[in-house]
Chains A and B, each alone.
Chain A
Amino acid sequence: MKNLKNILAVACISAAIISCEKEEVTPVEDSSTPVATTKNAQAGPGIGGSLAQFTIVEGYLYTIDYKTLNIFSLSNPDMPSLSEKIDMGVGMETVFHQDGYLYIGANDGVHIYDISNPRSPMEVSDYEHVTSCDPVVANGDIAVATLRGGTECGGNLSQLDVIDISNIYSPELVGEVELSNPYGLGFSSSNANIVYVCDGYDGLKAYDISNITDPQLIMTMSDLEALDIISTADNNLIVLTTTGVHQFDATNPTQLVEKSVIQIQ
């Protein structure tokens, strides 16, 4: 929830800044193309999908690869400096940030790091499950992760895990749903009880997790081979699929209205 508020706040501020800037800039040069301007130097970071391996939190860039968590200070934005390198000893897939914690989706589960001191992240807990590919995202006291099994990722289980993280030191699996071919996932920006899951060839799905022990499938768009998703505060839903990048109006989170597609050519 805090996260949502932050996103909203950032969005509002940046919207305000952009609108101011446009007034100043438009008359000056090249009015033929009303192009996006990002001249405000204090814009902060953007928003990535759930499969991201790079994330920026308060002036630090965190990157993961198959063996290392790297932390770069961006105090000189033109010349990042490596401030910490942690050998994880396990294959890492994704990194997500919420409220001072990094959630790292790895081959053996979810590792949670306290980054209140960015120069020395501390592992507070790990939530282990079977070997698989697994992006993880969090919203308030709930984290959700997908496990993609099958020969490609080791393990043979494909499912959505709902994890209670109210005690960050002891994450607990509270709900699970079987999936087919999951990749990325994300919370709805308008309703924190709704989780979108990109279930590969089985489509884009939405689950209602109001009852965290018993997630309910409330939407399936089976014509989309969905891979990753970004839900922005203005109810825009960006979905990467095998055919392109789709955008939906998600004002009604289960009645998505397609606005545009950048087609793969």
Chain B
Amino acid sequence: MKKTIMILTVLIGAVALSSCKKKEDNSKVEGWKPIYSTTQNSEVETKASQPLQNPGRIYVYENLLLVNEKAKGIHIYDNSNTNSPVELSFISIPGNLDFSVNDGKLYADNINDMVIVDISNPTAPTYVNRIEDIFPTQQFPDEFGAFECVDPSKGQVVGWEKAMLVNPKCFR
């Protein structure tokens, strides 16, 4: 996926550059750009199913396969037939990157908070609880290199994406 994004970015970058040959801006470098949360922290909701777009963590719980959609939530698939997993539901959790399941309860990061979701009925997961302000927000990307400095006025950082940056001021 990262590679696809990178290729896309490079393509878009190339198109952009070729279409405006006169632009003297040579200071564009590849780096990382914050993804800001546009929704409320507390909006945890269950949806029927969502297309898989940017998968992160994978997890097996009994006959379920759970796949994180980076910074967006968790897909739950019925995997009792491994030849044909079927999506049962999608739990929308803004900023979610990781999770674990124990005795039918799912524990997931939701930006700074932890949310607990009951998945004992995986077709209709139910929100249970929230523990606030337990996880720090990472103000820099996981990877080294140039990045666009975080602007807190734009919201909470929920992830990082590759981008062409003009004169980046932050480096890791």
Contacts and interface: CB of A to CB of B under 8 A. Distances in A.
Contacts of B135: 63, 65, 70
Count class of interface residues, chain A? 35 or more
B57 interface: yes
B144 A152 contact: yes
A230 B100 contact: no
A56 B55 contact: no
B145 A151 contact: yes
Contact of A80 (B58, B82, B116): B116
Nearest to B67: A245
Interface string B94-117: 000111111111010100001010
B3 A201 contact: yes
Contacts of B105: 74, 77-78
A140 interface: no
B53 to A, nearest CB: 6
A79 B60 contact: no
B27 interface: no
Contact of A74 (B97, B102, B136): B102
B28 to A, nearest CB: 17
A80 B62 CA distance: 22
Interface in A170-209: 201
Contacts of B84: 260
Interface stretch (A46-54, A112-120, A211-219): A46-54
Contacts of A260: 82-85
Contacts of A41: 103-104, 120
A238 B60 contact: yes
A61 B102 contact: yes
Count class of interface residues, chain B? 35 or more
Interface string A61-105: 101011110101010011110100000000101000000000000
Contacts of A167: none
A77 B131 contact: no
Contact of B88 (A36, A52, A225): A36
Nearest to B63: A36
Given A36-B80, A70-B134, A228-B58, A43 B103 contact: yes
Contact of A46 (B52, B55, B60, B134): B60
Given A41-B104, A61-B100, A247-B82, A66 B52 contact: no
A38 B77 contact: no
B85 A80 contact: no
10 contacts: A44-B102, A46-B60, A48-B57, A56-B101, A66-B142, A77-B102, A77-B103, A78-B116, A91-B142, A259-B83
Interface of A: 14, 18, 34-49, 51-56, 59, 61, 63, 65-68, 70, 72, 74, 77-80, 82, 91, 93, 133, 151-154, 201, 225, 228, 230, 232, 236, 238, 240, 242, 244-245, 247, 259-260, 262-265
Given A35-B88, A201-B3, 19 more contacts: A36-B78, A38-B120, A38-B121, A43-B61, A44-B102, A54-B100, A56-B101, A61-B107, A66-B138, A80-B107, A240-B58, A240-B67, A242-B4, A245-B85, A247-B83, A260-B82, A262-B77, A263-B52, A264-B52
Of all A-B residue pairs in the complex, the 7 with the closest CB atoms, nearest first, are A46-B61, A265-B51, A54-B100, A152-B143, A36-B78, A53-B98, A56-B102
Interface of B: 1-4, 51-55, 57-67, 77-80, 82-85, 88, 97-105, 107, 109, 114, 116, 119-123, 128-129, 131, 134-136, 138, 142-145
